[in-house]
Structure 1
Amino acid sequence: MVIDNNMTLGMFMAFNAYRGQFSQRASSLIDLIMQLRMLSLHNERLSEIVFSEPEKELPSRRVFAENTGVKLEVKNLSYQYDPFSQPIFSNLNITVEPGESIALVGPSGVGKTTLLKVMCGLLSPTSGDVIADNLDIQKIGINNFRHGTACVLQEDRLFSGSLIDNISGFEDNADMDFIVECARRCNIHDEIMKMPMGYETIVGELGLGISGGKNSGS
């Protein structure tokens, strides 16, 4: 356009300068929008913890036989996040026998993780019951139910520290026999012993440095 005399050289230089400033501002605005969206996501996750109702615990007692599996059932189970949303699942019935492996298959977002959280007592069902060895988990107490069960979710990560720290929950005087037994039950003891430092192996932030399967086991 300068060659065709439709624009002076000064106008062309000014246009380029303004274009560069506009591109920088637009890029900064896009970054800010992405940060706001991530902040909203973090706020939503924190709100689930901060505003959740305290769990009702009952006096601690052993409710499951030691060294035996637990039969887990859901009966007519339904769950929805709020009264105005559609149910994630309705009138669901599942039975998991001791030692049995069950695969829940479905597209992302259909409620597989939500179902697992309800079965573990992390979420309260809208209706229906979760039964462990013919005992309603709400009646025996969530704290007692968790003495005989464990759950590994897809977003779980390891803390920075040794495998001993992660298995024991960073206890000062960790019981090594208990830690080894936990590892054996998760089928990761042999893999840990193959590591140069064994149970003293340090795992990085977010569990980096070990495979996803070992991470979940720990």
Structure 2
Amino acid sequence: MVDPGSTLPPNQRRRNGGCLPALVVLVVILGLGFGASKLFGDDHKKSSSSSSSSSGSHDSGEWKVGDCGGPDPDDKPNGYKAFGCGDAGATFKALDIQPASFMPDSIQCPAGTDLIIQVSVSYGSSKSKGGGIPSKTVCGRNISADHPGDAGAGGGQLVKGDCVTSTAKEVPCASGGSDTYKVLDLTKETAQCPTGTTEPMRLTMAIGRPYDVICTAKQ
């Protein structure tokens, strides 16, 4: 159980270098989760959920909006690399490029982002996984028709229109079952939730996250 006043466990989350020879490491966030407590006046029901992640490596130039990438065949199973958007290996396109951050919760990608890639740079000639200095963040959208980051689809970052369980775990709206709540807004305070909010969920602390309350109503 997670106390609303406590700090969440470190997330294992969902960035390329400049002109110097560099090794770039990508950390792909595959899912997000938050501990939360439902607020019913003085009644606090405490619960928590977890996040999942994978990492990989890639050496390439600067990322730009519109660039494409995909799994790196030389760095299986979690490596990613840049591809031309017409290449067979390309699986996602960059919707947005954001600054690097040591605080994963501070990264907020645009709507429709299916995966978030942290690009880190390590100087040296040997290939190393999972390390380096964060350089930037790539917000990617799948080239295929599979878009878990769309509102209600059950993946990506939490956005208005998504659905969560009573433990604030994101689930697909179409198959969430009876323990499913619709996200009406994401706010700093419960009092900022819109009309129609019946079960606001106050999240445990996370430095950099732009919201602390998930405003929900029973689906």
- State the TM-score bracket (shorter-chain normalisation): under 0.3
Structure holding more strand per residue = 2
Higher radius of gyration, 1 or 2 = 1
* TM-score of the aligned structures, taking structure 2 as reference length: 0.23
TM-score, normalisation: structure 1: 0.23
